[in-house]
Chains A and B, each alone.
Chain A
């Protein structure tokens, strides 16, 4: 057996030592009719057989490196310096446990302290935790933190947040009897007037908004925060961390809580997981934040040391009165983000944002001029993601583009039927000029073929 160090002789010696005649004697408390169930599992594989099977499965997927990729929508195809991979693959980090015993875990604790500092700085807030599962769950738990703090049980969430976040928030809120109300979309951003009306009753715990919006546009975060605070509600901004390096961060705009999907910070797409959830808050919420927190302190000799702290918020101490049930978080992905940001620094993140945004603006302008195509929200400022209106159903256009090896973006009909002819298009520093050329060149044929398909289907 592949990973078992003890030989049959070791087993026999250990069985003899504990006074058991056979291994089943160790299981005598289990009723015998349950022991040794027939399992519908295949026979074991040797390592070479295993590698062959996994390689065959992997070959039946087409990774982003083999496409001209313009697909973002929550998972961004960014370059990852090799040193980030090398860091998180170190067994010291990969194979350790949550650092309960501080003296044996100082290195990892310091790394998480650095992560917390990095997230807090990016978001312009006082406090960040040691990570959440992903952007969606970070946003949901952040919103519930505001419910607990305000004692109000209604959440206002902008319809322009990521659709997966909206649905996860619904699931989290439903369990707690918290009412979720959507603030409608106006163009590519939140309807500010509707937000003010919904807030007017003074019953809402928090306003949740994404920056940029799911449709790529810049939200009026400052105005939404002010509107929320004027009615005693808190404000949560689900902010892209790379965007936060060039946009006025949530904390500077007065937000109480910021959350984010940390995948753009050095984490491969991996079909959407594992990534890392970022969660930051103001000092006032320090004792309400869910999850692990690392604190800096001293050891018995007075030297700087780190440990998990404020654990009385947590499930293993406080049980049903804990601020969250989170135990395992996404530490190794947080480490990847720390190494990525440590390598790039604030200036490097700004450059990533700058290059991504320049490519997007070039593409948006050029694509919008192709016959039949147009920018869906021409007046909305954006960074590197924008909505392209197509002369045919966007899903059909994307399908034709995929035949050319181009992932043209996300057809938005699955998100909002009003946007059925719209594609959410994303560029990054990995989107090369030849890729953009090919995208633009493929648009006319994709439109006519898509229209032809649509006509045939209509006739049927």
Chain B
């Protein structure tokens, strides 16, 4: 049943001359190798992972099992539509659930990640303005506290970034916003609550100002865990949102992905969504490529379907009770802030939601660097919070515990941080040496960047 081999069928000048230098490892050795690497990797099942803006919540076991079902994992994107009706129905339903949660009229599940969703959303905003004959809108107004992906996504679209200042309370400075808006403004891009964990109380005014200037209002859904089920960006005046399913909707982060970054829009932007769209017709579902005003394709096939299965499971398990997620996420964060307050001051007095930003400059050891505190936390089995972000706060430590941390785990974290601050006051030098208990000591990141070595080479290169 075999035809001729490669020796006969490959032209000589196409044949690989030197094989790739790759190890070939027996299964027992391979399992042990990755077992060793696994033990050297902090993870959610080992301990609290309070990385601000990352929403490191528990990843339900059943979701993993469901995503592995052969009927989901084993299908080809080009097989006949009649033979993937369950998958199409799952995606169609998930689009509608995300729509009701955010107050948006239509969703595309295609973007692969949050930043990919931002870029997709901004491309749609460009297309919308262009379709209105307005080709002069080349700027995006973004707060100084925004995630770095916001300005980077704008630049990927060829849009210029205009930075709007945060006021003393950590929210957008409205007077500065008025100065930044112009006939060149394509969009105002906000996270709400913002990266300081503070709700933009004047969001209705922001929306009015943006719309009066002819711009659209973009919602970066990175912090939706604070509001899921409790309040909706659509009600606040946002025109377009992206969500990070790997944050709010618990699909595992996988050490940096894969995630999923669906984009939702108000009805007037629906024609610009990426293709294909999933349509329900009669009793069935089909993929619609015929969308003349669409921005086109943003990735191959239909999105990170495996992650969509997990997010579907997550929303289905909470159903119409999903507001409890936001309530507990905000409560655990506020409680942790309260527990840390005697030792570690927060950057701002405003109410915080699912995350808060502390700073070592307001701590019982004010000369302590955030980095040193972070590295010492590793010795106590706690993954450090996000450090040096947002950049508007010196020596920032951004904590986001999530709703899946127990009160006991939060108490432990507070006690560890308090102990480290005591230690810093008594023996300031010791923290420079941290971590002491990790698989390696403090990693020399400066020489890594100065002399980049990004792969193995054979000795005789």
Contact = CB atoms under 8 A, between A and B. Distances in A.
Contact of B14 (A83, A248, A354): A248
Contact of A130 (B37, B51, B256, B302): B256
Interface stretch (A13-21, A226-234, A442-450): A13-21
A112 B309 CA distance: 26
B56 A97 contact: yes
Nearest to A85: B68
A272 B300 contact: yes
B132 interface: no
A198 interface: no
Interface range on chain A (Cβ under 8 Å from partner) = 35 or more
Contact of B86 (A60, A65, A86, A399): A60
Contact of A41 (B35, B320, B404): B320
Contact of A410 (B78, B112, B350): B78
B367 interface: no
B292 interface: no
A120 B281 CA distance: 47
B387 to A, nearest CB: 8
Interface stretch (A51-59, A200-208, A370-378, A452-460): A51-59
Interface in A3-19: 3-6, 10-11, 13-15, 17-18
12 contacts: A5-B405, A58-B72, A63-B75, A101-B378, A104-B378, A248-B15, A261-B300, A299-B443, A330-B257, A342-B22, A343-B27, A346-B20
Interface in A408-460: 410, 433, 436-437
A271 B72 contact: yes
Contacts of B5: 354, 357-358
A311 B6 CA distance: 42
A183 to B, nearest CB: 20
B280 to A, nearest CB: 14
Contacts of B445: 102, 297, 307, 309
A175 B119 contact: yes
A333 B455 contact: no
A121 B115 contact: no
B404 A121 contact: no
A433 B3 CA distance: 11
A51 B62 contact: yes
Nearest to B112: A133
Contacts of A272: 76-77, 300-302, 305
B406 A44 contact: no
Contacts of B39: 92, 107
B74 interface: yes
Contacts of A75: 76-78, 301
Given A58-B72, A362-B3, A99 B255 contact: yes
Contacts of B114: 327-328
Contacts of B440: 102-103, 106, 299, 301, 303, 305
A184 interface: no
Contacts of A187: none
B113 A329 contact: yes
Given A92-B39, A247-B16, A273 B34 contact: no
A339 interface: yes
A257 interface: no
B45 A71 contact: no
B324 A248 contact: no
A26 interface: yes
Contacts of A167: 296-297
B96 A34 contact: no
Given A103-B440, A321-B155, A131 B301 contact: no
A366 B297 CA distance: 37
Interface stretch (B145-153, B208-216, B358-366): B145-153
A386 B319 CA distance: 48
A42 B316 CA distance: 7
B80 interface: yes
Interface residues of B, number: 192
A307 B309 CA distance: 32
B74 A268 contact: yes
Contacts of A346: 19-22, 24
Nearest to B25: A342
A158 interface: no
A64 B84 CA distance: 11
B419 interface: no
Contact of B62 (A47, A305, A324): A47
Nearest to A309: B448
A22 to B, nearest CB: 10
Contacts of B27: 81, 83, 343
A78 interface: no
A53 B76 CA distance: 22
Contact of B299 (A63, A134, A306, A359): A134
A284 interface: no
A322 B338 CA distance: 37
B168 interface: no
B69 interface: yes
Given A103-B378, A332-B255, A322 B40 contact: no
Given A86-B31, A103-B442, A106-B439, A3 B71 contact: no
A23 B325 CA distance: 12
A29 interface: yes
B268 interface: no
Contact of A5 (B13, B18, B406): B406
A360 to B, nearest CB: 7
B204 interface: yes
B254 A127 contact: no
Given A176-B158, A343-B30, A328 B246 contact: yes
B296 to A, nearest CB: 4
A197 B260 CA distance: 41
A92 B384 contact: no
A118 B15 CA distance: 19
B133 interface: no
B231 A26 contact: no
B123 to A, nearest CB: 5
A341 to B, nearest CB: 6
Nearest to B62: A47
Contact of B3 (A28, A117, A269, A359): A359
B272 to A, nearest CB: 12
B182 interface: no
A194 interface: no
A269 B236 CA distance: 39
A92 B448 contact: no
B392 interface: no
Nearest to B339: A17
B115 A328 contact: yes
Nearest to B374: A101
A170 B298 CA distance: 9
